[in-house]
Amino acid sequence: MCGIIGYIGKGEAAEVLINGLFRLEYRGYDSAGIALIADGDIFVRKVAGKVKELAQMTSGQLPHSHIGIAHTRWATHGVPNDINAHPHIDCRGRFAIVHNGIIENCRTLKRFLEEKGHKFISDTDSEVIPHLIEEFYNGDLIAAVKKALNQIEGTYGLAIISLANPDRIIAARMGSPLVIGKGREEYIVASDLAAIISYTDQVIYLKDGEIAEIRKDSIRIESRELGLVTPEIEKVTWTLKQIERGGYDHFMLKEIYEQPIILRDTIRGRLNYEEGTARLNGIADYIDDLRDADRIIIFACGTSWHAGLIGEYMIESLAGIPVEVEYASEFRYRKPVLSQGSICIAVSQSGETADTLAALREAKRQGVPVLGICNVVGSTIARETDAGVYIHAGPEIGVASTKAFMAQVMAFALLSLLLGRQKRLSLDEGREIIEAIRKVPDQLSQLLKVLPDGIKAIARKFKDHRNFLYLGRGYNFPVALEGALKLKEISYIHAEGYPAAEMKHGPIALIDKEMPVVVIAIKDAIYDKVISNIEEIRAREGIVIAIGSEGDEQLKKNVDYAIMVPQTLDHLYPLLTILPLQLLAYYIAVFKGLDVDKPRNLAKSVTVE
Ligand code: M6R
């Protein structure tokens, strides 16, 4: 949520900042702004709308400067308008800040500051920060920032510039990610790597409670708890190519098409055919705990939660270990009771989701180990978990998650194989799973060649429908949920995912000849039951769009539209059945003329509660 960036160095600050904002825009896109120090002044420009609007408005008009900050917003306090856009400044325009996070005690702070004579112009919580700094400033910027931060309850990733110290940026972090890129005679601080990797691959991940004082050729980091700390510089492996659209109309489409390659990366070096098992070195020290656990608790949000649900089904059926899947947002507040025999798994693409992070901390507070299934290397969740599995999906820019889901599901397939082999799967069964896993990337590549035309035709036909129902059973019930979420997110069509058999307990009342029902009806152990559900829909004149298994000619005759996927093992079907649902959501949104990569009200990484 919200992208922040700061630049100091030999280069042209405005150019780096505007470029960076374009890269960070997936974090929020309701308003944008920039502040530069030039000619003894802080020059601020901000506007409601996307970064493009800011770039157009300021084109050729920004002063030369070597230091500045910028922001792309996802509103929490105050509607998206020019005034509420960041950067925010103090009364006399001596300090400018960009903020990602929430100041929970902003009302109290505002009252305190107003009593001292400070004037506020926006409705945001963030505006209290420059005023607090102004209030406490006594010739020492760092001291004023520290005092200001001590007053704040809530979360922040902050970049601050000041007229009194035009040779430095102050960055501070508590609960909202910040990463600092080190170039030659320049530093860039940003909410995430996307804004940095075109300039440098040397980065420092700021930790909670740390404040960095960044000059063009030096950095000083102080931790609230540890005092001065030596910056740990890490090398980034993401490439520029990975964060560019590369000829695709949208990042979402690019990421859908990347899925076969991603899965190869997820499984690379992790399959051991000889022993019919998987190898997950990142969690090697916890395999015994997982195998002997009373309970594995998976927590996550959104799409990652759907992947976790598939993980539950896989681990329970292949390894016989009890698993529960929790919404991280519920888990953290419902006073969960964890036995010492439990072990948790936090699933997150970004590794920064506030609710998942809070659930992780709650589990650790109760003394239970927490493992991670994460995409972003060096993210907070990746660092705070005891051990983890990286899914190697590369940067995911499209707000609607696709390739990360695929890779998360594959990570669970590997984990369930590994645990299954330790518990009850035979060598032959393990090898059979490996053979099927190895086929999946090619099966997806093939599907990507044959599916789009048919799916486009369906999308055109149904793009103006107001409601959709998605049904699936077993492993494909979470796929139905995920398919419905994809449609809701990017096309704003109301869609519900249901276990197919639950339909008759209520949702069947919705079915009429206007209701498209997407049913995943592959040839698995419960195929016949799903066919009965299809009959129930047809009897009420509902429109059935089925995802079936290749060779199922009977299904084709019984439904209005059939999209076929190759056969695989039951628990691997979600890796194939999700693809047509991603494409369907994508093309419906495209045909509705919507902004697929920046759906309204959403942001990629949800770092607020
Ligand atoms: O980064 P995370 O996996 O922790 O994010 C969780 C959800 O916010 C995320 O999956 C969200 O639901 C996506 N927009 C789904 O497409």
* Whether residue 52 sits in one domain with residue 161: yes
Q: Distance of alpha carbon 245 from its chain centroid, rounded?
A: 18
- For residue 112, what pLDDT is reported? 97
**Whether 114 and 10 share a structural domain:** yes
In the chain, the percentage of residues whose pLDDT exceeds 70 is 100
Say yes or no: 185 and 256 in one domain. Answer: no
- Determine the structural domain holding residue 519 and report its residue range: 451-601
Instruction: Catalogue the E-assigned strands of 276-386.
Output: 277-278, 295-300, 323-327, 342-348, 370-374
Of 153, 182, 189, the C-alpha closest to 71 is: 189
Q: What is the reported pLDDT for 269?
A: 97
Domain boundary among 425, 443, 461: 443
Side chain identity at 443, as an amino acid letter? Answer: Q
- CATH at 204: 3.60.20.10
Whether residue 108 lies inside any domain: the answer is yes
Q: Does residue 1 register a pLDDT over 80?
A: no
Atom of ligand 1 nearest to the CA of 353: 4
Among 243, 270, 285, identify where a domain stops.
Answer: 243
In this model, does residue 609 exceed pLDDT 80? no
Position 604 scores a pLDDT of 76
The answer to whether residue 609 is domain-embedded is: no
Whether residue 241 contacts residue 404, with contact meaning beta carbons closer than 8 Å, is answered with no
**Do 403 and 256 belong together in one domain?**
yes
Please indicate, yes or no, whether residues 171 and 286 belong to a single structural domain of this protein.
no
Closest to 391 measured CA to CA, from 373, 371, 403: 373
Domain contains 607: no
Judge if the beta carbon of residue 380 lies within 6 A of ligand 1: no
Torsion angle (degrees, nearest 10) of CA 221, 223, 226, 230: -20
Query: 375 CB less than 6 Å from ligand 1?
Result: no
Q: Are residues 194 and 82 both part of a single domain?
A: yes
pLDDT (0 to 100) of residue 62: 95
What is the pLDDT, as a whole number, of residue 560?
Answer: 97
Task: State the SS3 of 1-55.
Answer: CCEEEEEEECCCHHHHHHHHHHHHHHHCCCEEEEEEEECCEEEEEEEECCHHHHH
Q: Provide the CA 496 distance to its chain's centre, in angstroms.
A: 22
Find all residues with CB under 8 Å of 419, minimum gap 6, and list them: 287, 290, 291, 315, 318, 319, 321
pLDDT tens-digit readout, 386-431? 999 999 999 999 999 999 999 999 999 999 999 999 999 999 999 9
Is the CB of residue 451 less than 8 Å from the CB of residue 469?
no
pLDDT in tens, 94-125: 999 999 999 999 999 999 999 999 999 999 99
- The predicted pLDDT at position 502 comes to 87
Give 80's pLDDT tier (boundaries 50, 70, 90).
confident
My answer on whether 55 and 114 are in the same domain is yes
User: Is 604 noted as a catalytic residue in this protein?
Assistant: yes
Per-residue pLDDT tens digits for 509-551 = 889 899 999 999 999 888 998 999 999 999 999 999 999 999 9
Ligand 1 atom nearest to 381, measured from its CA = 4
Structure tokens at 287: 């395999």
CA 356 / ligand 1 centre spacing (Å)? 10
Q: 79 falls in which pLDDT band (50, 70, 90)?
A: confident
Please give the number of the atom of ligand 1 that sits closest to the Cα of 350. 1
Give residue 304 CA to ligand 1 midpoint distance, Å: 6
29 pLDDT above the threshold of 90: no
Residue 27 pLDDT greater than 90, yes or no: no
Tokens for 385?
A: 């978990």
304: which DSSP letter?
H
- Please indicate, yes or no, if residue 152 is contained in any of the structural domains: yes
Residue 608 has pLDDT above 80, yes or no: no
| Residue 476 resides in a domain | yes
Q: Which of 256, 303, 327 to mutate to test the pocket of ligand 1 (most atoms within 8 A of CB)?
A: 303
Is residue 553 domain-shared with residue 500, that is, in the same domain? Answer: yes
The pLDDT of residue 133: 98
Q: Which two tokens stand for residue 121?
A: 């112009």
Please state the rounded mean pLDDT for residues 222-248: 91
20: tokens are: 């960076």
Q: Which range among 62-71, 196-205, 306-315, 593-602 shows the weakest confidence by mean pLDDT?
A: 593-602
Same structural domain, 251 and 239 = no
- Same structural domain, 238 and 264: no
Full DSSP string of 470-488: EEE-GGGHHHHHHHHHHHH
Q: Is 349 in the pocket of ligand 1 (CB under 6 A)?
A: yes
pLDDT tens-digit map of 178-225: 999 999 999 999 998 999 999 999 999 999 999 999 999 999 999 999
Question: Cβ(4)–Cβ(70) under 8 Å?
Answer: yes
Domain contains 42 = yes
Of 236-240, 367-371, 597-601, give the range with the top mean pLDDT.
367-371
pLDDT at 448 over 80: yes
Distance of CA 574 to the CA centre of its chain: 20
Q: Residue 240's pLDDT band (boundaries 50, 70, 90)?
A: confident
Q: Is residue 505 part of a domain?
A: yes
- Identify whether 608 is part of a domain: no
Q: Give residue-wise pLDDT tens across range 580-595.
A: 999 999 999 999 999 9
Judge if 48 and 192 occupy the same domain.
yes
CATH number for position 457? 3.40.50.10490
Q: What is the CA radius of gyration of the chain?
A: 25
To the query of whether residue 2 is one of the catalytic residues in this protein, the response is: yes
Q: Of the candidates 399, 538, 561, which has an alpha carbon nearest to the alpha carbon of residue 28? A: 399
The total domain count for the chain is 3
Tens digit of pLDDT for each residue in 119-154? 999 999 999 999 999 999 999 999 999 999 999 999
Clarify whether residues 381 and 262 are in a common domain.
yes
Q: What average pLDDT does this structure show over 239-247? A: 88
Chain mean pLDDT for the chain: 95
Tell me the sheet residues that pair with 271.
278
**Of 194, 209, 243, which residue is a domain's last?**
243
**Cβ-proximal residues to 60 (8 Å cutoff; 6+ apart), any chain:** none
CA distances from 355 to 139, 213, 326, 366, 455 (A): 39, 29, 11, 17, 35
